[in-house]
């Protein structure tokens, strides 16, 4: 699975909108880390890595952005533009976030604390590793 679309309930009323995201209920993991990307523009590319141990949920809480995901074979581009819709990314998915609108705020929820050692930042090496895992699985 490259990714999964998630949809959260809008619990707002006449006072305004309200979206709740709970770990292990609305998303498939306990939230260990949250961060957000803002102040980027249409020319910036963020991410450009895969993670060995971390799962992620990406939500554009304001504005819009695009996310390219790949496993080295399949490649898809998903646009995030609704604060009640999200993208779940399992471990070992290469991700690149780009085409940020001026008002974009991309919230990222992660299943692990930050560990620089679990990042795969070289795309060619990532593809070789994924091919190796695929061959091992076929054995």
pLDDT of residue 139: 64
Give the DSSP letter string of 41-74: -TT-EEEEEEESS--EEEEEEES-EEEEEESSS-
Give strand pairing partners of 79.
66
Per-run averaged pLDDT (10 residues), the chain, 139 residues: 93 93 97 97 95 98 98 96 97 98 98 98 96 79
pTM of the predicted protein model:
0.93
Question: How many separate domains does the chain show?
Answer: 1
Dump the DSSP string for 71-119: SSS-EEEEEE--TTEEEEE-TT-EEEEE---TT-EEEEEESS---GGGE
| Residue 133, C-beta contacts closer than 8 angstroms, at least 6 positions apart | 92
Range of the domain at 118: 4-138
Q: Which residues are catalytic?
A: 49
Q: What is the pLDDT of residues 74-93, one digit of tens each?
A: 999 999 999 999 999 999 99
CATH number (domain holding residue 101)? 2.60.120.10
What pLDDT digit, counting tens, does each position of 9-29 carry?
A: 999 899 999 999 999 999 999
- From the list 122, 128, 129, 118, the residue with the least C-alpha distance to 91 is 118
Other CB atoms closer than 10 Å to residue 79's CB: what's the count? 13
Map tokens 């679309």 to a residue.
Answer: 5
């Amino acid at each position: 699975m490259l990714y999964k679309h998630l949809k959260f309930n809008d619990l707002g009323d006449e006072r305004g909108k309200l979206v709740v995201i709970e770990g292990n209920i609305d998303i498939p993991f306990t939230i260990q880390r949250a961060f957000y990307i803002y102040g980027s523009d249409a020319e910036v590319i963020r991410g450009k890595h895969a993670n060995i141990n971390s799962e992620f949920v990406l939500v554009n809480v304001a504005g819009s952005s695009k996310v390219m995901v790949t496993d080295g074979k399949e490649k898809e581009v998903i646009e995030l533009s609704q604060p009640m819709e999200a993208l779940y990314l399992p471990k070992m998915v290469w991700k690149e976030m780009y085409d940020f609108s001026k008002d974009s705020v991309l919230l990222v929820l992660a299943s692990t604390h930050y560990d620089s050692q679990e990042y795969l930042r070289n795309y060619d090496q990532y593809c070789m590793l994924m091919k190796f895992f695929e061959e091992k699985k076929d054995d």
